Structure 1
Amino acid sequence: MQSKPSRTTFRDRLEEMVHSLRTEIVTGKWQGGDFLPSIQQLGKQYALSINSVQKGLDQLVAESLIERLPRIGIRIKERTEHAVITITIGYYPSLNSDADFTSLIELFQIKYPHIHVQTIPLQYENYYETTSYYLNNEIVDVLAINQINFQQYVEQHDNLGEIFEPISAASSIYPYLPSLFQQNNQLYAQPFIFSPVILCYNKKQLQEQQMPEPSHDWTWAQFMVFIHELERKDPTKLAFYFYPATNNRWPIFLLQSGINFQNDKSERADFSDSAVIDSIQTCYDLIHRHNLFSNLLMSENDINVEQLFAEQKVSIMMTTYFNLNKTQHIDFPFDIAPLPYVHTPRTLLLSIGFAANRKSKQKEAAKAFISFMASYEAMLHVRQRTYSIPAHMQAAEWEGEERAYRPQQFELYRQISHTFASLSDLHLKQDESKQLLNIMNRYWMGIEEKETLIARLKNDLGVY
């Protein structure tokens, strides 16, 4: 007797078919050597088109649960061929707060009981050296990788297809994300979560001081007038705080210069151009407007910006949706706003994706893991339980009852997507980036004058 689909949407019917067949195979209802019903029968049973059934069966083939025999049918593989296997995931520990990663792994293993997941934490420091060793020695099957670490691999390898398994972009992801993980137009990491760099402000403190909320179109000069007035009214707090000496912050000011940085060295923009100097000077002015602020920023240890914000010692901070996850315990209202700009509105687009090791012996299981992490189910979990933005558009834009406080302007990222830029837009190699930061740091710390800064930008970086 034909069973009716228990859910009504196409996506749910497809997931129901795959889940039901997978469960029946793993639990032994279907034995090795048995043949599944025909594609046409499965289509009628689950109210799916032939192409949709094929797509679902492709997933089970990838999991090594079934095999296609041309002109014969679809056969269940012997249990010894789909016994429990283990894959190892190299991940950033921050994913536990950024994406509730531990719970996602549990959901994956419920759906894929024949795949056991092990995890290895990765550190941002020496990421490339460590992960290269893990990949080459087949220690990891899947690697979490952000756009900065991905560019390290691009810089070191002409053909990433020798390192990572080429993949296709998942459906329904935001169109500006794949380019962060591509080489020669080929995708090597599936986008998972993302965030622009933004402002976050304490609504209560601004209201108490009868100050307006940050504008969506301020320049940094206008913003500095605002924070000066805020600190005049309440000198016991820092009006604004950020940590500039990180690759997720200082490049923003250069991107906001409006200079078109070119790949071709002969056409490269002049880093001593007045617009670039304006950007470096803006960062200098933000740092030096308060001596305590200056000393904190130039120290060796990064003071936790979000911690100071949570303690209400800072009224406005430069942060990300990722780092907002550290504020979930606070008991005062806050909201977000776009970054002010120097000459051109720009902000950094940050993202984390998953890549499969080309040398993995469990490649199909690794692909199944990445596919699950890109699924609507996993992405919706991220949206409902964190402030991080899922790469899946439909999940990110889900509307329903919120589990906890959410900023009123949470969907700001959709309004400012035209301002997104990446570190790769500067076309700086890793050693050049470090050299540039060193030059700027010497100026920001007051060790060198502006004239020396300009001379070093011209001579040390070899720009034209």
Structure 2
Amino acid sequence: MGIRPTKEQFNRQLEQMAGTLRNEMIEGRYALGEYLPTERTLMERFRMSNNAVRTALETLVREGWIEKVPRIGNRVAAGRPPVKLVLARNVVAQRNLELSGLLDNFHRQFPWISVETHGIDGQGNTGDADLVLADNYQFQRMVEDGAIKKLEPLTGREDMYPGLARQFAVEGSLYMRPVVFSPIVLCYNKAHFRECGLMEPDGSWTWDNLLGCAEKLSDGKGRYGFSFHAQDTNRWPLFLLQSGERFEWNAGQLNDLRGTRLLESMKVYKRIIHNRKAFPLFLSESNGDILQMFEEGKLSMILNTYMGLNLWKHANLEYDVAPVPFIYEPRTLVIVLGIGISAKSAHKEEARLLADYFVSAGAQNYIYEHTLSIPSTQLPTYSPAASTSVGINRPERYALFREMMFSYRTHSDLGIPVMSLPKIFQQLKAYLADMIDENELCDRIRGALSGETRAGASEAGD
């Protein structure tokens, strides 16, 4: 008796067979109205069971490539009328997914479907889009705005990394499928460390270790040891998450922050960006400004994401990644990009084909081979050599994200609606500028957040 394939192997065989037949129909090997080879012939060709062959053929029927004629066979379907889908996506989706290439591949598989993309506006509106690509922070905003009903419930996949789908789930229903993800990591210039005779960062580093090293890396000639875009919503909340605490309420009033780890984490954040021996007074307007300074060798260490690494994928830059330093225990912020289908789409069948495609083995491998983003499905290997064919500069410790998964947290782990984060930062700005002290900071945050209960955070998908 042969060894029965695992579910993952079975699904891969199905996709390989369906993909091969799909390509052969595109290339004209089977003309419109012509019958495919018999199921027995296909069993011998692909070395698959009768059940597996029928399952793959059913996929092609569902996709509209063939039609099943009872007691006769499977016939190549007549041409389908063209359909245009509109995909709303955030501004960095092209870079993080190599989106144009992905959509070209999708069109080759489904030539009657074209995809037009447009951006999501500053309020998170997606217009009349059939599908939306958004991150988990944007999704939480949709939930809190009551816009979740604009998305169609989806089915999950078992081959995704644990915890990712939860970021797009509300009351047991999944509304977006994770496509790629990334933790916040520490990027460092290997040549700078070698030049200064310093050991490279590792998972034992606290922020004090980082500052001590950053001061030694600063050369007094325009190079600084450490920086990050301090205002970014995917950077400063990292320090709150490292407190290990949540915002708590009592009778609609935020509990006093004095004496809490949350306050201590804000003090650490301030101490870092006020250290002029390590951290420059650089008025960055975006993470892109920080990434540019790192590439130019003006910064030795920065906070970044794997998606942010895509700006350097063809750069002649000797760098690597390490876990972010910690305060009380290792914790980092994870960002997940997902795809969802609009409940109002007039082309839900075709939209579902595109949503399925983004998490298919073919698309996920394409993302891995052409970007530095982390695919949401668990691919067999993550080797730096895997992407040499397209000239990508992949850091040696790329696979580090797997060892960090225990430390992943999201904005919602703070126990507040994500819409409250700008209110907190508004008060933090005055504290960082020494315009208010810690006592006034606590009072101001309490006043700004009072009335926003933990229930609000629960509704946000916590």
Distance 1:142 1:222, change over 3 A: same
Distance 1:145 1:332, change over 3 A: closer
AA in 1 matched with 2:175: Y
Distance 1:199 1:462, change over 3 A: same
What does 1:295-314 correspond to in 2, within 5 Å? 295-297=281-283, 304-314=289-299
2:246/2:415 contact within 8 Å kept: no
Distance 1:377 1:431, change over 3 A: closer
Asked if residue 62 in structure 1 is aligned to residue 48 in structure 2, the reply is no
* Bigger mean CA offset, 345-354 vs 399-408: 399-408
Q: Name the residue aligned to 2:5.
A: none
For 2:237 and 2:257, the matched residues in 1 are separated by: 13
Question: Which residue, 376, 383, 400 being the options, matches 1:412?
Answer: 400
For 1:108 and 1:263, the matched residues in 2 are separated by: 49
Question: Which residue, 124, 131, 139 being the options, matches 1:150?
Answer: 139
Question: Which residue, 228, 231, 239 being the options, matches 1:245?
Answer: 231
1:224 deviation in Å?
1.7
Distance 1:12 1:346, change over 3 A: closer
1:51 deviation in Å?
4.4
Q: Name the residue aligned to 1:90.
A: 88
For 1:56 and 1:271, the matched residues in 2 are separated by: 58
Distance 1:250 1:58, change over 3 A: farther
Q: Name the residue aligned to 2:448.
A: 460
2:186/2:304 contact within 8 Å kept: yes
For 2:20 and 2:208, the matched residues in 1 are separated by: 60
For 2:32 and 2:313, the matched residues in 1 are separated by: 48
For 2:55 and 2:154, the matched residues in 1 are separated by: 16
Cα displacement string for residues 166-192 of structure 1 (whole angstroms, at most 9, x for unaligned residues): 212234211121111111122111111
**What is the Cα-based RMSD across aligned positions, in Å?**
3.1
1:458 deviation in Å?
3.2
Distance 1:167 1:301, change over 3 A: closer
* Bigger mean CA offset, 309-318 vs 393-402: 393-402
Structure 2 segments unaligned to the other structure (5+ residues):
1-8, 454-462
Distance 1:51 1:91, change over 3 A: farther
Q: Secondary structure of 1:296's partner?
A: coil
1:44 deviation in Å?
5.0
1:272/1:457 contact within 8 Å kept: no
For 1:264 and 1:28, the matched residues in 2 are separated by: 70
Q: Name the residue aligned to 1:4.
A: none
What does 1:374-389 correspond to in 2, within 5 Å? 374-389=359-374
Q: Name the residue aligned to 1:394.
A: 379
Asked if residue 79 in structure 1 is aligned to residue 78 in structure 2, the reply is yes
1:50 deviation in Å?
4.5
Q: Name the residue aligned to 2:211.
A: 224
For 2:72 and 2:249, the matched residues in 1 are separated by: 52
1:62/1:368 contact within 8 Å kept: no
For 1:68 and 1:262, the matched residues in 2 are separated by: 59
Asked if residue 315 in structure 1 is aligned to residue 303 in structure 2, the reply is no
For 1:48 and 1:15, the matched residues in 2 are separated by: 12
Question: Which residue, 235, 240, 250 being the options, matches 1:254?
Answer: 240
1:39 deviation in Å?
6.0
1:168/1:187 contact within 8 Å kept: yes
AA in 1 matched with 2:102: L
**Identity among equivalent pairs (%):** 27
For 1:422 and 1:240, the matched residues in 2 are separated by: 24
Distance 1:23 1:339, change over 3 A: closer
Q: Name the residue aligned to 1:347.
A: 332
1:380/1:396 contact within 8 Å kept: no
Distance 1:303 1:294, change over 3 A: farther
For 1:323 and 1:414, the matched residues in 2 are separated by: 18
1:36/1:73 contact within 8 Å kept: no
Asked if residue 178 in structure 1 is aligned to residue 180 in structure 2, the reply is no
What does 1:413-428 correspond to in 2, within 5 Å? 413-428=401-416
Distance 1:215 1:401, change over 3 A: closer
Q: Name the residue aligned to 1:3.
A: none
Question: Which residue, 155, 161, 181 being the options, matches 1:168?
Answer: 155
Q: Name the residue aligned to 2:195.
A: 208
Q: Name the residue aligned to 1:283.
A: 269
1:319 deviation in Å?
0.6
For 1:242 and 1:300, the matched residues in 2 are separated by: 11
Cα displacement string for residues 201-242 of structure 1 (whole angstroms, at most 9, x for unaligned residues): 0010111111221131111123222222333x5553111010
Q: Secondary structure of 1:394's partner?
A: coil
Distance 1:444 1:396, change over 3 A: farther
Asked if residue 326 in structure 1 is aligned to residue 316 in structure 2, the reply is no
Q: Name the residue aligned to 2:3.
A: none
* Bigger mean CA offset, 177-186 vs 308-317: 177-186
For 1:396 and 1:313, the matched residues in 2 are separated by: 34
Distance 1:301 1:243, change over 3 A: closer
1:265 deviation in Å?
7.4
Distance 1:458 1:74, change over 3 A: farther
Q: Name the residue aligned to 2:458.
A: none
For 1:228 and 1:22, the matched residues in 2 are separated by: 58
For 2:64 and 2:107, the matched residues in 1 are separated by: 16
AA in 2 matched with 1:107: N
Q: Secondary structure of 2:368's partner?
A: helix
Cα displacement string for residues 247-294 of structure 1 (whole angstroms, at most 9, x for unaligned residues): 101111111001145699779775444211110001101111129957
For 2:409 and 2:169, the matched residues in 1 are separated by: 15
TM-score (normalizing by structure 1) = 0.85
1:36 deviation in Å?
6.4
Q: Name the residue aligned to 1:5.
A: none
Q: Name the residue aligned to 2:48.
A: 48
Cα displacement string for residues 324-383 of structure 1 (whole angstroms, at most 9, x for unaligned residues): 111234323111111111112110110111111122121111111111111111111111
